C-alpha cells in the first residue's frame, strides 16, 4: 500500500500523523508503542485530518538527525527505525518507520519498564500494565500464556484427572500422563511437575472463561428476547453457543433437484459460525480476566466479540492474506488434535468464502481497542447493488431515485438527488483505485462541506454500498465486498 493510501485510511494501529516534529517524550512513546505492537509509521508533516502540510526542505536533515538522537537517548532497548523523507504533492514529509521488535518490551529509560512501557491500541499509545509487560516478555521468548506454569497447585491432581477424562472423550482416545506432557498441559521444571495455564482454561475453571449469548429485539441491545451464560469446559461452551446461534437464525427449506426431497439450509452457513466461534476461543486473550466472549444476535446481524487485540500485533490485512499467529499454542494444539481446526491461517478465508457462496455480504472483522469482533450479516438483510438500483431490507425494497434519502426527516430536492447519485459514483470510482477513503479525502474529492460529505458516506454505508471501519480519527470507508 502506498503512503498516500495509508494517509487516506487515517490514523490507526500502525500509522500516526504529526504536523510538526513532536517533543522527545511524545515521539519516544509512539516509537516504543509501535515496536512493542505491530510496528508502524510516524509521519511528520501530515495534519490529523490527513492534509499534507509538509516539512521545510531546509529542516529535513536536522529533523531526521534529531529524531535519531532522541530515540537513542530515550528508549531501552534501543529501537533503530528507518528515517527518510518522502515527496508528496510537491511537499516533503518525514517518515519514521518502525518494525515490530523481537527485543520487547521496549520502554522509556527515564520512567523504567513498569511505568514506561507503551503499546498501540487503535490510534493511541497506551501504558502497558504489569500483566501485559509479562506478555511482551513471553513474546520475546516465543512462549504463550497458556504454555506458562499455572501458579495455583492446590488442586493439581484433581485437575489432571479431570483433564484426562475430558480429553479422552474429546480426542476419542485414552489420554495418559505422557500425552499431557506431549500436549504441554503438564511441564517438568527442575524436577517438579507443573500444570500449565491451558489446563484450567480447557476445563473452564477461571470465572472469565465463559461465553455470554444474547438475542436482542431489533438492532440495538435495549431489549432482550433470550440470553444465556455458558460455563464449564470450553468444548461444551462451544457446542452450547452453536445451539444458541442456530436456534435464533432462520432455517429455509427447498425441494432438491429431484423435486422430491426437501433440503434445509440455514440463512448463515453453520460452518462459518462454528469457525468464528473456534477462532474466538483459541485466539482470545485469557489474561484479560474481566472480560469474556460475547455473542449478540440482532434482527439484521450477528456479532461475536472476543477479548484481546489481534495476536502478536499482526494486522487485519495480514490475517486476510492468510497469515496465522497463534496466541494460545497449547489450546490450539488440543483443538487441532480434536479436529476442530483443519488448517492454520485458513479460518477467515473459509468464513468469507462460505458467506459469499451463500449470497451473503462478506463479514466485517474489526479490531476495536483490546477486542476483536466479527459481524455476520443475516440473509434477509443482505444488500446487493447494480447500476440502476439498490435492493435492501426484509422485503428487498427497491429504492428509486425519487425516494427520500439523507438524514432522517429531511427531504432531498430533485437536483440534490441527482448530485447525490453522482457523488456516490465518484466515491465508488475512487475506491476502485484505493483500499479506503477517509471523510477528509471524500471532502476534497467531492468539494462538499463536512456535514454534506458525512451525509453521503452515512447513506452509502447504511445501504451497504460501502463499509465503515474504525472509530474516531481512524474512521475510514471501504468498498463493500458483495
Lowest pLDDT segment from 128-132, 231-235, 390-394: 390-394
Torsion of CA 434, 435, 438, 444, to 10 degrees: 0
What was the pLDDT predicted at 255?
A: 61
pLDDT per residue as tens digits for the range 48-72: 999 999 999 898 999 999 999 999 9
Sign of CA dihedral 152, 153, 154, 159: positive
CB atoms inside a 10 Å sphere around CB 366: 18
Candidate ranges 31-35, 137-141, 434-438; pick with highest mean pLDDT: 31-35
pLDDT of 400 higher than 50: no
**229 and 339 part of one domain:** yes
Helix H or strand E encompassing 374: strand 371-377
**33 and 95 part of one domain:** yes
Sign of CA dihedral 437, 446, 18, 62: positive
For the chain, what is the mean pLDDT? 85
pLDDT of 83 higher than 60: yes
pLDDT per residue as tens digits for the range 87-104: 987 899 999 999 999 999
Residues 6+ apart with CB under 8 A from 439: 450, 453, 454, 457, 475
**390 and 377 part of one domain:** no
**pLDDT class of 413 with cuts at 50, 70, 90:** very low
**93 and 18 part of one domain:** yes
pLDDT of 426 higher than 90: no
pLDDT per residue as tens digits for the range 234-268: 999 999 999 999 999 998 766 666 656 667 789 99
23 touches 89 (CB < 8 A): no
**216 and 196 part of one domain:** no
Average pLDDT over residues 201-214: 95
**151 and 275 part of one domain:** no
What was the pLDDT predicted at 368?
A: 81
* CA 360 and chain centroid, separation: 20
Block residue for cell numbers 513532536:
22
Which letter, b or e, does each residue of 455-482 get, where b requires 16 or more Cβ atoms within 10 Å of its Cβ? bbbebbeebbbbbbbbeebbbbbbbbee
Lowest pLDDT segment from 59-73, 117-131, 208-222, 252-266: 252-266
What was the pLDDT predicted at 254?
A: 67
Nearest CA among 304, 303, 301, 243 for reference residue 267:
301
Nearest CA among 204, 121, 104 for reference residue 163:
204
Q: Grid coordinates representing 48?
A: 490529523
The beta-strand segments (E) located in 190-247 are 192-195, 211-216, 224-230
**336 and 434 part of one domain:** no
What was the pLDDT predicted at 382?
A: 54
Which residue has better confidence, 341 or 239?
239
Query: What is the C-alpha to C-alpha distance for residues 237 and 150, in angstroms, rounded to an integer?
Result: 22
Query: What is the C-alpha to C-alpha distance for residues 467 and 361, in angstroms, rounded to an integer?
Result: 11
Which residue has better confidence, 31 or 383?
31
**282 and 246 part of one domain:** yes
What was the pLDDT predicted at 275?
A: 94
**40 and 107 part of one domain:** yes
pLDDT per residue as tens digits for the range 374-396: 999 997 665 433 333 233 333 33
Query: What is the C-alpha to C-alpha distance for residues 74 and 88, in angstroms, rounded to an integer?
Result: 30
**233 and 338 part of one domain:** yes
pTM: 0.71
Query: Looking at residue 454, which CATH number applies to its domain?
Result: 1.10.10.10
pLDDT of 118 higher than 60: yes
Q: Is the peptide bond before 77 cis (omega within 30 degrees of 0)?
A: yes
The DSSP bridge partners found for residue 377 are 301
CB atoms inside a 10 Å sphere around CB 175: 20
The DSSP bridge partners found for residue 390 are 385
Query: What is the C-alpha to C-alpha distance for residues 264 and 432, in angstroms, rounded to an integer?
Result: 37
What was the pLDDT predicted at 336?
A: 92
Last residue in a domain, options 92, 107, 138: 138
CB atoms inside a 10 Å sphere around CB 405: 19
CB atoms inside a 10 Å sphere around CB 383: 18
Last residue in a domain, options 347, 381, 415: 381
Lowest pLDDT segment from 87-91, 241-245, 303-307, 459-463: 459-463
Query: Looking at residue 33, which CATH number applies to its domain?
Result: 3.30.950.30
Measured CA distances, 463 to 267, 369, 391, 403, 459 (Å):
20, 26, 8, 13, 6
What was the pLDDT predicted at 262?
A: 66
Candidate ranges 93-97, 122-126, 137-141, 351-355; pick with highest mean pLDDT: 93-97
Query: Looking at residue 288, which CATH number applies to its domain?
Result: 3.30.565.60
Sign of CA dihedral 131, 134, 136, 141: negative
Residues 6+ apart with CB under 8 A from 18: 42, 43, 44, 45, 46
118 touches 76 (CB < 8 A): no
The domain containing residue 92 runs over which residues?
Answer: 3-138
345 touches 353 (CB < 8 A): no
**371 and 399 part of one domain:** no
What was the pLDDT predicted at 403?
A: 33
Lowest pLDDT segment from 143-147, 236-240, 347-351, 408-412: 408-412
**434 and 452 part of one domain:** yes
Last residue in a domain, options 336, 358, 381: 381
The total number of structural domains in the chain stands at 4
**pLDDT class of 152 with cuts at 50, 70, 90:** confident
What was the pLDDT predicted at 153?
A: 67
Query: What is the C-alpha to C-alpha distance for residues 209 and 233, in angstroms, rounded to an integer?
Result: 9
Candidate ranges 135-139, 338-342, 457-461; pick with highest mean pLDDT: 135-139
Amino acid at each position: 500500500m502506498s503512503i498516500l493510501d495509508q494517509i487516506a485510511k487515517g490514523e490507526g494501529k500502525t500509522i500516526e500523523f504529526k504536523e510538526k516534529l513532536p517533543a522527545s517524550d511524545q515521539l519516544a512513546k509512539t516509537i516504543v508503542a509501535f515496536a512493542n505492537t505491530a510496528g508502524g509509521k510516524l509521519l511528520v508533516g501530515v495534519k490529523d485530518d490527513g492534509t499534507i502540510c509538509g516539512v521545510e526542505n531546509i529542516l529535513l536533515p536536522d529533523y531526521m538527525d534529531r529524531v535519531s538522537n532522541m530515540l537513542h537517548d530515550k528508549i531501552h532497548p534501543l529501537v533503530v527505525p528507518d528515517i527518510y523523507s518522502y515527496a508528496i504533492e510537491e511537499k516533503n514529509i518525514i517518515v519514521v518507520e518502525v518494525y515490530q521488535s523481537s527485543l520487547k518490551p521496549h520502554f522509556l529509560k527515564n520512567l523504567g519498564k513498569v511505568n514506561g512501557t507503551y503499546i498501540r491500541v487503535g490510534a493511541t499509545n497506551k501504558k502497558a500494565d504489569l500483566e501485559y509487560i509479562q506478555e511482551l516478555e513471553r513474546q520475546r521468548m516465543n512462549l504463550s500464556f497458556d504454555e506458562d506454569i499455572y501458579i495455583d497447585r492446590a488442586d493439581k491432581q484433581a485437575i489432571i484427572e479431570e483433564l484426562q477424562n475430558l480429553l479422552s472423550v474429546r480426542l476419542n482416545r485414552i489420554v495418559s500422563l505422557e500425552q499431557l506432557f506431549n500436549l504441554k498441559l503438564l511441564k517438568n521444571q527442575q524436577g517438579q511437575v507443573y500444570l500449565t495455564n491451558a489446563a484450567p482454561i480447557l476445563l473452564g475453571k477461571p470465572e472469565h472463561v465463559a461465553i455470554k449469548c444474547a438475542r436482542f429485539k431489533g438492532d440495538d441491545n435495549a431489549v432482550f428476547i433470550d440470553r444465556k451464560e455458558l460455563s464449564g469446559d470450553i468444548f461444551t461452551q462451544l457446542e452450547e453457543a452453536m445451539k444458541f446461534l442456530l436456534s435464533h437464525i432462520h432455517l429455509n427449506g427447498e425441494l432438491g433437484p429431484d423435486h422430491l426431497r426437501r433440503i434445509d439450509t440455514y440463512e448463515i452457513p453453520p460452518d462459518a459460525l462454528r469457525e468464528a466461534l473456534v477462532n474466538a476461543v483459541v485466539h482470545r486473550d485469557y489474561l484479560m480476566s474481566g472480560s469474556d466472549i460475547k455473542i449478540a444476535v440482532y434482527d439484521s446481524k450477528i456479532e461475536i466479540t472476543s477479548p484481546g487485540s489481534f495476536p502478536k500485533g499482526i494486522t487485519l490485512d495480514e490475517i486476510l492474506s492468510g497469515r496465522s499467529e497463534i496466541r494460545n499454542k497449547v489450546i490450539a494444539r488440543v483443538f487441532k488434535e480434536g479436529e476442530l481446526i483443519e488448517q492454520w491461517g485458513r479460518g477467515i478465508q473459509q468464513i468469507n468464502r462460505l458467506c459469499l457462496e451463500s449470497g451473503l455480504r462478506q463479514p466485517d472483522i474489526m479490531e476495536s481497542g483490546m477486542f476483536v469482533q466479527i459481524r455476520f450479516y443475516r440473509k434477509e438483510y443482505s444488500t446487493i447493488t447494480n447500476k440502476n438500483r439498490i435492493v435492501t431490507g426484509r422485503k428487498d425494497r427497491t429504492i428509486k431515485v425519487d425516494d427520500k434519502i439523507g438524514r432522517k426527516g429531511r427531504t432531498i430536492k430533485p437536483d440534490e438527488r441527482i448530485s447525490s447519485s453522482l457523488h456516490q459514483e465518484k466515491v465508488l470510482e475512487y475506491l476502485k483505485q484505493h483500499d479506503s477513503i477517509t471523510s477528509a479525502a471524500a471532502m476534497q474529492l467531492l468539494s462538499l462541506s463536512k456535514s454534506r460529505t458525512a451525509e453521503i458516506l452515512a447513506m452509502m454505508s447504511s445501504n451497504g454500498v460501502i463499509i465503515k471501519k474504525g472509530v474516531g480519527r481512524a474512521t475510514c470507508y471501504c468498498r463493500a465486498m458483495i
